[in-house]
Structure 1
């Protein structure tokens, strides 16, 4: 592994890096700099072939003394957080690998690294003292659109995955996923989706998946209710004091505090309710576990039926809405059709849903609705 280090980082490491190696493979070459954020030293590193990177925050003298091992350990941890297969992580970053330091001199690499540094500084309030690893800010760096890599604008993490596939083949991910059938009862018919969701997703992330799968727009609060003989009744709610309760007969947590794998084993069933006014209740059935899921994002594998538009007035309002749209002679037909367009009301399309689900990746905190 090659690290092209800035003059500041070289001074911190007390080394004299060699001249650059312009012919080295940029996929195995990382540019790194040290900056001060909130009076703490941070190292920002990016891969030269795609600007995928990570942040180490709160670096001290003893950490710079062991910088090579800390850098490699964090690189491994970052790749594993994105769901890359452990054996491929080991091939990319072997535990016996050596780090070679060179001078950071390439202008394009400097510009890309500086962009990552700027993002780290912009999100200073999300840096967490007490831990060198900073997953949240790392995600921010990797979800910032980039260009200039011979492709259209794209995310650094997607460019990194593409480069990784070129080196190690197409099958680079391996995670556990939960096979769920989610059904929305609409009286005359049902809208349902069968989804494969990584089991490391928080329920806040599952909420995002369901928003995409049913075409909701995240305009309202939500909650999950989980029923288990072992754990009793558990409510997982949106990050809002309006829904948080202190009822002694039930346990309430924020949805971001629990992951799927925490609850699936003992779960007898659960529901997802969106919009406490229209009250869209989705019944969720667990079909099983996929042990070697080869993606790091959810997919919709089956489905049927349109979900209602936002703010249509609950099930009763939706039935009236469908009756009016079925009758072009109705006096409210044109107004309701125009309103539907404003609501982005669309027919169910599994292809469109999966295109959007592809952006809800493990390791990412990007919100997709």
Structure 2
């Protein structure tokens, strides 16, 4: 594997790499840069790599200068972890890493590759800014996952756009002869009871999905805007006994000492056929989504999270819980209602019925 370093990164590492081997397989060639996420920071804090064949992005945050002494191994691990984080077949990932060989640093000489890695760095910086408050300590070598779901090579007269993760999957499958996906998955039935009807989503996702990711899946599937607090509560079905309350932030533990911090916890550790989970979003409006395990798929061979079915429109944010939503919906159904115009302006693009596009089966982007 050859990794072409920008001048800034080569200087930071303290090496003068040889010229790039132009005839090497571009699937085993990456360009890497060391960039800054926060404008108010004095030094760079994120490594970004872009694959030459597929424009697949790998990013590592936070990386301080004293961490660069182990940068070669850090990069290899990050490439593997990012591929695995996208649920790719572990056998396929292991084969790619084996065929790649040891890291060889070379000098970047491509303006195009430099532009790719700069653009990828900007996209990853936006992701970090949305996910992280910039104060607490954080390390992640899978920051690039979100960037790989953004279309590239599509601007101006160029209409040959593609998604980096799909290009990488196709290239690795063709090279190794191994299937792209192979993992244990759960089929879930998620129900939001709104009294007058139920908003229902049937979803397939990895069994080992972390609760933080599950939160994002549910936000996307129910078209929430991630503006409020949330938690997960696990119950035994027959007795209704509380098994665990799972919370996202350490501050939540101050109000419930028996709660469990979700950091690192996976769905498969808590959800069984004998249990259900309540996902509560917005502690004021109290939107309670019941999560039931419908089916366990031992070897799922497709991309996920995947929306199988959707019915029932979700309320708009801050409508006042179920009672407020019922009143709001009655107004929206009556164009002659004295509050219709003001309510319509407040609701903006909200519609009474779920659109056909939102009902359509699709990969859920998180």
- TM-score by length of structure 1 reads 0.73
Change (3 A) 1:40 1:359: closer
Q: Deviations over 1:79-110 (max 9, x none)?
A: 22222112222332226835555442122123
Asked if the contact 1:222–1:275 (Cα under 8 Å) also holds between the matched residues in 2, the reply is: yes
Asked if the contact 1:3–1:31 (Cα under 8 Å) also holds between the matched residues in 2, the reply is: yes
> Are positions 1:28 and 2:28 aligned together?
yes
SS at match of 1:53: strand
> Are positions 1:91 and 2:95 aligned together?
yes
Asked if the contact 1:52–1:160 (Cα under 8 Å) also holds between the matched residues in 2, the reply is: no
> Are positions 1:337 and 2:344 aligned together?
yes
Structure 1 CA distance for aligned equivalents of residues 185 and 149 of structure 2: 23
Structure 1 CA distance for aligned equivalents of residues 261 and 342 of structure 2: 39
Structure 2 CA distance for aligned equivalents of residues 55 and 298 of structure 1: 24
Instruction: Give the match for residue 195 of structure 2.
Output: 187
SS at match of 2:259: strand
Kindly state the Cα deviation for residue 236 of structure 1 after the two structures are TM-superposed: 2.0
Instruction: Give the match for residue 234 of structure 1.
Output: 244
Change (3 A) 1:219 1:357: farther
Which of 49, 52, 57 lines up with 1:52 in the alignment?
A: 57
Stretches of structure 1 that go unaligned for 5 or more consecutive residues are: 361-369
Structure 2 CA distance for aligned equivalents of residues 90 and 279 of structure 1: 44
Instruction: Give the match for residue 82 of structure 1.
Output: 86
Stretches of structure 2 that go unaligned for 5 or more consecutive residues are: none
Asked if the contact 2:278–2:288 (Cα under 8 Å) also holds between the matched residues in 1, the reply is: yes
Which of 344, 354, 358 lines up with 1:352 in the alignment?
A: 358
Over the residues paired in the alignment, what is the CA RMSD in angstroms? Answer: 4.2
SS at match of 1:282: strand
Which of 112, 119, 143 lines up with 1:108 in the alignment?
A: 112
Instruction: Give the match for residue 367 of structure 1.
Output: none
Structure 1 CA distance for aligned equivalents of residues 337 and 48 of structure 2: 61
Change (3 A) 1:10 1:85: farther
Q: Deviations over 1:223-273 (max 9, x none)?
A: 2111249x95311235384x545556xx21344452212212486222122
Asked if the contact 1:20–1:104 (Cα under 8 Å) also holds between the matched residues in 2, the reply is: no
Instruction: Give the match for residue 281 of structure 1.
Output: 288
Instruction: Give the match for residue 279 of structure 2.
Output: 272
Change (3 A) 1:180 1:350: farther
Change (3 A) 1:186 1:71: closer
Change (3 A) 1:263 1:152: farther
Instruction: Give the match for residue 315 of structure 2.
Output: 308
Kindly state the Cα deviation for residue 349 of structure 1 after the two structures are TM-superposed: 4.2
Aligned residue pair count: 347
Structure 2 CA distance for aligned equivalents of residues 354 and 28 of structure 1: 37
Structure 2 CA distance for aligned equivalents of residues 320 and 287 of structure 1: 33
Change (3 A) 1:127 1:355: farther
SS at match of 1:264: coil
Asked if the contact 1:212–1:356 (Cα under 8 Å) also holds between the matched residues in 2, the reply is: no
Asked if the contact 1:20–1:105 (Cα under 8 Å) also holds between the matched residues in 2, the reply is: no
Structure 2 CA distance for aligned equivalents of residues 304 and 16 of structure 1: 57
Structure 1 CA distance for aligned equivalents of residues 74 and 160 of structure 2: 33
Change (3 A) 1:186 1:54: closer
Structure 2 CA distance for aligned equivalents of residues 328 and 120 of structure 1: 45
